[in-house]
Structure 1
Amino acid sequence: MSEGDGYEASTRTFLACAAEVARLLELEAAADVPEDRRARHLAAAARRPLLESASLPEEFFDPLMAAAVYDPDPSFCRWFVEPALYAFGRRRVMTALLGYLRTGTTAEIAGARRAWYCAHLPLRVDRSPAYAPSGSRDPALDEVDDVVDQWLESSSPQQRDRKASARHNRA
C-alpha cells in the first residue's frame, strides 16, 4: 500500500467515526457535501451540540475517542476530545488514549499522541454545562497522575529508563 492509499484509508475511517458521532446526535448525513470534505463538515456540525450538552450518554464515549484518534488534523481532534473531557472526565479520556497507545495500530498510536495533547486542555466552568450548577465537579474525574506516569512509561524507552533510574536513586 502506498502512502497515498494509507492516507485515503485513514480519511475513510475518520469519515466513518465522524458519521457515527453525527448519527448519535441525530444530525443530517451531509450527503450533499463532497466526500473529501464530509468528515470535517460532520465534525464541525457536531462540535457545538457536543459542548452544549450537560451530559452525554455512555454510547458516545467510544465513538468520540475513535473520532479523536482517527482525526488526521491535530488542530481539530480537540472537537472530540474536549466534550469527552467535560462529559466523562480527564481520567477516562486519558485512559482510553493510553489503551490506543499500548495496543493500537501505527495510525492509532499516532492519533492517540495527537489527541493526548488535547486531553490536557484546561476545563472551564463557563465552557460547558457539564459542570454542576455550583461550578464544581467530582475531582476523581480528573485525577490523572498515575495515567500520565503510565503514558510516559509506555510512550518512550527514554522515559522508562529515566523513571527507573530515578527510582533506583531514591532506593
Structure 2
Amino acid sequence: MAEEEHSETGAPSFLSCATEVARLLDLGDAAGVPEAGRARHLAHAARKSLLARARLPEEFFAPLMAAAVYDPDPSFCLWFVEPAVYAFGRRRVMTALLDYLRTGTDAEQAGAKRAWYCAHVPLHAHRSPAYAPGGSRDPAMDESRDVMDEWFKTIQRSAT
C-alpha cells in the first residue's frame, strides 16, 4: 500500500509526495521505472537537484515536508529534510514537523518523529549554495530551542 496513490484514509502516499517534488523540479514522472521502486527512484533523482539550489521557491516547502513525513524509510527521509533545512531554515522545518505531531494522523505523527531526527542535520557552508558568500546565514532561520521545547512537551502529553 505504501506505493499506492492514496491510502484508505485519503492521505497521500509516499509515491504521490515524491512525484510532486519531482514535478516541481521538472524531473519527469519516471514512468519507465517499475511502480514498486518509483517513489525511491524519484526521491533519489530529486536529492541532488534539491541540494544544488541556493534557493527553493515557497511552493517547495509543503511538498518537501509531506515527502519527509510520508517516506517510510527513516534512513531516506533526510533526502527531503536536509534541503528544506538549508533552504527554509531549521526553525521552519521543525515547526512544520511539530504541526504534524500535534494534528496529524497516526501515520503522519510517526513520520514526523522519523523526520525530526533528520531535522538536526549539521549545516555546512560547503554542502549547500544556500549559504551567502563567506559562509554566512541568518541565525534566526535555525534558532529552534523553543520549538524543541514544544516538541518534547507534546511528546510527553501524548505519552500520558
TM-score by length of 2: 0.92
The answer to whether the 8 Å contact 2:94/2:119 transfers is yes
Q: CA offsets per residue over residues 80-126 of structure 1, 9 Å max, x none?
A: 00000000000000000000000000000000000000000100011
Unmatched 5+ stretches in structure 1: 161-171
Q: Offset of 1:6 from its aligned partner? A: 7.3
- Alpha-carbon distance between aligned partners in 1 of 2:91 and 2:3, rounded to the nearest angstrom: 30
Please list every run of at least 4 consecutive aligned residues from structure 1 whose deviation after the TM superposition is greater than 4 angstroms: 5-8
Q: Offset of 1:28 from its aligned partner? A: 1.7
The answer to whether the 8 Å contact 1:90/1:143 transfers is yes
| 1:111-126 alignment runs, 5 A limit | 111-126=111-126
Count of aligned pairs between the two proteins: 156
Q: CA offsets per residue over residues 3-28 of structure 1, 9 Å max, x none?
A: xx578639x70000000000000002
TM-score by length of 1: 0.86
Identity among equivalent pairs (%): 70
The answer to whether the 8 Å contact 1:152/1:159 transfers is no
Let me know the Cα RMSD of the aligned residues.
2.0
Unmatched 5+ stretches in structure 2: none
- Alpha-carbon distance between aligned partners in 2 of 1:89 and 1:76, rounded to the nearest angstrom: 19
- Alpha-carbon distance between aligned partners in 2 of 1:159 and 1:93, rounded to the nearest angstrom: 23
Is 1:141 paired with 2:131? Answer: no
Higher helix share: 1
Is 1:43 paired with 2:19? Answer: no
